[in-house]
Amino acid sequence: MVSDRRVVVTGLGLVTCLGLELEENWKKLVEGVSGIGRPTLVDSKAATIQAVGEVNAYDWQRIQETFREDSLAEGERRTLFALWAARSALQDAQALDGDSNRYRHGVILAAGLGINRIEDINRWTDQTGKFDFFRFGREYENVHRESLVRNLSHRPAGLIAKKFGLRGTQTTVTSACAAATQAIGLAYRNIRRGDADLVVSGGADSMINPIGLVFFVLLKAASTTSENPKSLCRPFDRKRSGLVMGEGAGCVVLEELSHALNRGARIYAEVVGYGSSMDAYRVTAPHPQGRGAAQSMGMALKDAQMHYKEIDYINAHGTSTKPNDLVETVAIKTVFKEYAYRIPISSSKSMIGHLLAASGAPEFVYTVLSVQRDEIHPTINLRHPDPKCDLDYVSEVKRSRPVRAALSNSFGFGGQNASIIAKKYNAT
């Protein structure tokens, strides 16, 4: 894409198991504090999955009290997470009230599929096990307010646009674990080509419910061991046993540079490159040579007009699954060649879990902070290095070093891949 319009990050907002505030998240992250614990939203004794990155009850209550009207009307966790993160990002950007030209301000948000509630299936299932569509239609008002039936994927983006008066472009991205990075990439492109001046972007998801948990067990992707939850997510470790699910949201305010400067906005970093690809291989497994992952990273570098040696840090997808960690390592070596061994790499999921469709959003927030603050958070629980995953994963302890530019990766089920680059802002 050829354009003189530059895109900068002016606001950041988070909801994770580490907390609701930006500084709280970052402090815990760089100190290697895990927010993962036993599930409380489901019966943990009966659950196959014994570790989740769950937003704690106190923080959930804060969100509900802040959005009391929406909580009573909506109630669905993913949607309320999105509202909190979007409001936090707009407040951080000092753009919560905005200007009169909200027609140039938009929302591009990733969202998961929503909650399939067992009671909403059982209630209208007859004695033969068939779903009674006619009775369901007559009794639709009895569907639980948190159900997928009432909260489709576009609901969070639509509610953010309505509540904060964002009358410009509105898009919802639902493309598995790459969705949030794709949403941010689309927001970047939207501003760069002149279709918007400011876009709230990111993602929100929560699948910590019986059906959501079982889904990943059936895929054989989730860790089902009963070890200490805080040590269970161990990306790139030889003893990794599967992903640990998390929940929450992350939002960023992306803005055209002159628009940001004209209103005196603080600039965290500049977004300079984005790439997305499809493995076209298998629905539940990445290409063994990391073909699509390498392609998305290469496209991001080309879009940024950067040499791979200008990247000082990679926030990895790092799921703690056997195939994904290995494939991501292979793909990084393909793109960065011998320089791959000199780039610090870390996985945020080791401390917050896998936020599924939302995962790329907090990870991009953390990537931006690494660029702004020249700090790299560690990958915790990496105590038995996998000899096939032999790069520098910043094991256990944070690292302080100049970060001129950083790359954030998200690779999802179905072969979706997305990579985005944040760079130190330079006025010239």
Instruction: Indicate which CATH number applies to the domain containing 54.
Output: 3.40.47.10
Q: Per the structure block, which two tokens stand in for 112? A: 């998961």
* Predicted pLDDT at 220: 80
Q: Among the options 233, 354, 377, 389, which is catalytic?
A: 354
Task: Give the chain's end-to-end CA distance (angstroms, integer).
Answer: 20
What is the total count of domains within the chain?
1
For residue 176, is it within any domain?
yes
Query: Alpha helix locations (H) across 206-252?
Result: 210-218
Q: Which residues pair with 8 in a beta bridge?
A: 255, 270
Maximum alpha-carbon separation in the chain: 71
Residue 355: what residue type? L
For residue 200, is it within any domain?
yes
Nearest C-alpha neighbor of 308 from the set 300, 316, 320? 300
* Residue 259 annotated to the active site: no
Helix axes 155-164, 77-92, angle to 10 degrees: 40
Do residues 151 and 115 lie in contact, with contact meaning Cβ atoms separated by under 8 Å? yes
Query: Alpha helix locations (H) across 193-247?
Result: 210-218
Q: Are strands 405-412 and 416-423 parallel, antiparallel or unpaired?
A: antiparallel
Q: Among the options 105, 259, 287, 317, which is catalytic?
A: 317
Nearest C-alpha neighbor of 357 from the set 149, 109, 116? 109
pLDDT in tens, 194-242: 999 999 999 999 988 887 888 788 778 888 888 899 999 999 999 999 9
Instruction: Give the C-alpha separation, 123 to 136, whole Å.
Output: 9
* CB-side neighbour CA atoms (13 Å) of 406: 31
Q: Distances from the Cα of 70 to the Cαs of 155, 162, 370, in angstroms?
A: 12, 12, 34
Which H or E run includes 71?
Answer: helix 68-73
- The sign of the CA dihedral 337, 342, 343, 347 is positive
Instruction: Give the C-alpha separation, 60 to 75, whole Å.
Output: 11
Note down the domain range covering 373: 7-115+151-423
* Predicted pLDDT at 118: 75
* Residue 389 annotated to the active site: no
For residue 100, is it within any domain?
yes
Tell the residue number behind the tokens 């699948």, with chain if given: 207
Tell the residue number behind the tokens 């939002």, with chain if given: 251
Tell the residue number behind the tokens 């939207």, with chain if given: 190
Instruction: Give the C-alpha separation, 65 to 39, whole Å.
Output: 23
Q: Are strands 375-376 and 345-346 parallel, antiparallel or unpaired?
A: unpaired
Do residues 331 and 391 lie in contact, with contact meaning Cβ atoms separated by under 8 Å? no
Instruction: Give the C-alpha separation, 404 to 132, whole Å.
Output: 59
* Predicted pLDDT at 189: 98
For residue 136, is it within any domain?
no
Instruction: Give the C-alpha separation, 230 to 193, whole Å.
Output: 43
- Exposure string of 271-293, with b = 16+ CB inside 10 Å and e = fewer, is bbbbbbbbbeeeeeebbeebbbb
* Residue 287 annotated to the active site: no
- Flag residues of the chain having pLDDT under 70: 1-3, 43-46, 98-100
Q: Which 8-state DSSP code applies to residue 281? A: S
Is 222 exposed, middle or buried (CB count within 10 Å of its CB: 0-12, 13-18, 19+)?
Answer: buried
Residue 159 CA, chain-centre distance (Å), reads 19
Instruction: Give the C-alpha separation, 26 to 381, whole Å.
Output: 18
Do residues 213 and 122 lie in contact, with contact meaning Cβ atoms separated by under 8 Å? no
φ and ψ at residue 277, rounded to 5 degrees: -155, 175
Q: Which 8-state DSSP code applies to residue 19? A: B
Q: Per the structure block, which two tokens stand in for 23? A: 């500084």
Q: Distances from the Cα of 185 to the Cαs of 37, 192, 197, 277, in angstroms?
A: 32, 10, 15, 12
Q: Per the structure block, which two tokens stand in for 83? A: 């509202």
For residue 140, is it within any domain?
no
User: Radius of gyration (Cα) for the chain, nearest Å?
Assistant: 21
Residue 318: what residue type? G
For residue 89, is it within any domain?
yes
For residue 120, is it within any domain?
no
Instruction: Give the C-alpha separation, 233 to 53, whole Å.
Output: 10
Q: Among the options 17, 177, 233, 251, which is catalytic?
A: 177
pLDDT in tens, 303-345: 999 999 999 999 999 999 999 999 999 999 999 999 999 999 9
- Does residue 233 sit in helix, strand or coil? coil
For residue 416, is it within any domain?
yes
